[in-house]
Structure 1
């Protein structure tokens, strides 16, 4: 039932109501409400241990909530399997780059495309049957600026380009909502600029929910920011609004700058 969820299938691609997760005697996420508007970039920020990644794991169904509800495109997915959620277009990346380092960039993207088509494990099919995917492989690599490196072995890429390749493989699943877990983690300044521009580019026509520690990136990209602290929502709004919130400054931004 969704009667008490305002506009659950309209302006919002993702709605979270009262999300709570207890691990034994520890409450990692406590009564979190979240509304992510369609075709916007929404950032989830907070100090270490605030519950950001746990929220991601709950939303994408990698772990079960203790209580609360999750709605995606107006449908209750609280009890859905992770693979079902992904097949509907709610797709995430992880903090650690997830690519096949010994395959070429093109082969990495092709594997993702095969997964979408349900032919990933059809080993008996001739290699020529995969030629039909070539145009999509090229299109996706071009969208992240890696087409010129199509035949390069993925493990030889810089960290930033590995992240770009991971985004290409994620886009192969045709996400409507893209969840990015600390996409800038471990990057130098040049890679951060490249990947930030990439996220802005691929967000066109999509909804993005991202966990990110780099406040400069958040200020540049996010339309809306939700601040978590000790598993609870501390504040929400534009970067300008939350950055001036005294509680946020005390709990997070003060620590980040001081």
Structure 2
């Protein structure tokens, strides 16, 4: 049933000056799941992600979120509806502390309008909730550290905390494992599993192994079109997927 899907695309297409980057992509993201959009470099997954999050306008097709057509909506409008995106490059305030970064994100739902110029006492009421979020992502011991001084994997955890501060119903993660070593990948994968327990996650990734134990559903793109979709076992056994990756993403 349509109500089972938090977001759906129908015939999503994007053309750039004669080049078709995404062609006729129909995507159904089931509520309460982790759904990975993967593919080799140049497959069109980031373009699809930008279309879904309204950072690009589609050339054709439509996007439905919670039953509402959001094809013509702006990114800020869909964020207010509960769809919140993180970016491939970590986006934190490097000269503010870890706690201050989360506290700033918490201001949005309270209507405090990002009062950077107000004394700390005005925002002290957000400290408890900020600290809870830091515990949720394993950053409680880093509370006073300047965000710019965090190791890369911890910065991504902080970004997830600031995304969670907006209380999203649908969290969209753009290559959250990009540039990470094995230890950080394991830590952030566990974190994504934890935060997905009461929300939906749609994530872009290029490595099939990274999402093997993480995703309920995997959609594989190639040349802007859906090549395969299913569980990890299903897509990894697909000969077309194996050929597309030419050994990458497989042991």
TM over 0.5: yes
Instruction: Return the alpha-carbon distance in structure 2 between the equivalents of residues 135 and 102 of structure 1.
Output: 21
Instruction: Return the alpha-carbon distance in structure 2 between the equivalents of residues 257 and 239 of structure 1.
Output: 11
Q: Which residue is 1:98 aligned to?
A: 91
Out of 5, 12, 20, the position equivalent to 1:12 is: 5
TM-score when normalising by structure 2: 0.96
Contact 1:20-1:31 within 8 A present in 2 as well: yes
Q: Which residue is 2:230 aligned to?
A: 237
Are residues 1:185 and 2:178 paired? yes
Q: CA deviation at 1:148?
A: 1.6
Q: CA deviation at 1:147?
A: 1.1
Superposition RMSD on alpha carbons, in Å?
Answer: 1.4
Contact 1:21-1:66 within 8 A present in 2 as well: yes
Q: Which residue is 2:216 aligned to?
A: 223
Greater shift, 240-249 or 161-170, is seen at: 240-249
Contact 1:19-1:69 within 8 A present in 2 as well: yes
Out of 23, 30, 33, the position equivalent to 2:16 is: 23
Secondary structure, in 3 states, of the residue corresponding to 1:134? helix
Contact 1:94-1:181 within 8 A present in 2 as well: yes
Is there any run of 5+ residues in structure 1 with no aligned partner, and where? 1-6
Contact 2:208-2:250 within 8 A present in 1 as well: no
Change (3 A) 1:24 1:252: same
Q: Which residue is 2:25 aligned to?
A: 32
- Cα deviation per residue 1:149-188 (whole Å; 9 max; x = unaligned)? 1111111111000000000000001111111111100001
Contact 1:243-1:253 within 8 A present in 2 as well: no
Q: Which residue is 1:4 aligned to?
A: none
Out of 28, 50, 54, the position equivalent to 1:57 is: 50
Q: Which residue is 2:245 aligned to?
A: 252
Q: Which residue is 1:108 aligned to?
A: 101
Change (3 A) 1:14 1:251: same
Instruction: Return the alpha-carbon distance in structure 2 between the equivalents of residues 44 and 230 of structure 1.
Output: 13
Are residues 1:206 and 2:196 paired? no
Secondary structure, in 3 states, of the residue corresponding to 1:100? coil
Out of 58, 76, 81, the position equivalent to 1:83 is: 76
Contact 2:39-2:207 within 8 A present in 1 as well: no
Instruction: Return the alpha-carbon distance in structure 2 between the equivalents of residues 218 and 144 of structure 1.
Output: 19
Instruction: Return the alpha-carbon distance in structure 1 between the equivalents of residues 108 and 189 of structure 2.
Output: 27
Q: CA deviation at 1:252?
A: 2.0
Contact 1:184-1:214 within 8 A present in 2 as well: no
Contact 1:181-1:210 within 8 A present in 2 as well: yes
Out of 106, 123, 129, the position equivalent to 1:130 is: 123
Instruction: Return the alpha-carbon distance in structure 1 between the equivalents of residues 247 and 147 of structure 2.
Output: 39
Instruction: Return the alpha-carbon distance in structure 1 between the equivalents of residues 170 and 116 of structure 2.
Output: 31
Q: CA deviation at 1:216?
A: 2.2
Instruction: Return the alpha-carbon distance in structure 2 between the equivalents of residues 167 and 257 of structure 1.
Output: 27
Instruction: Return the alpha-carbon distance in structure 2 between the equivalents of residues 160 and 88 of structure 1.
Output: 29
